[in-house]
Amino acid sequence: MKPFDRVLIVDWSGGNDRGPRPKADAIWAAFNDTPAEYFRHRQAFEIWLMTVLEAEINAGHRVFLGFDFPFGLPEGMAKPITGQDDPFAFWNWVTERVEDTPTLTTRFDVGAQAR
């Protein structure tokens, strides 16, 4: 048995809506056997990803997902911001504060609050 039936790689460089014409600084995704697909913004990609993964799961496929964005935090970063050592407390803190739509994101404002 192969460990994975499909490999999906995502280049996550996207910010707010990048417009209809593909741009390098955007979100791109490709399975190992298909051309890369351009996504104008995070919400469009999220809908596509959930649809694709549901179809793959329903087909009984195992999918390896590769993303090029970091999830790690420097050791000790969560505590000054959340009062807890748990890095997941930091991600919960961020989730509760960030507003993210195709044309607006408050992630930089929230980042400034964390200083």
pTM above 0.85, yes or no: no
Sheet holding 6-12, edge to edge: 37-39, 27-31, 6-12, 63-67
Residue 84: beta bridge partners?
none
Q: Give CA–CA dist 57/93, Å, rounded.
A: 31
Asked if residue 56 lies in contact with residue 45, where contact means CB atoms within 8 angstroms, the answer is no
Distances (CA, A) of 55 to 6, 62, 93, 106: 12, 11, 32, 32
Q: What is the pLDDT of residues 62-76, one digit of tens each?
A: 999 999 876 677 888
What's the pLDDT band for 58 if we cut at 50, 70, 90? very high
Residue 38: beta bridge partners?
28
Q: What is the pLDDT of residues 4-39, one digit of tens each?
A: 999 999 998 766 777 888 888 789 999 888 899 999
Nearest of 44, 9, 38 to residue 23 by alpha carbon: 38
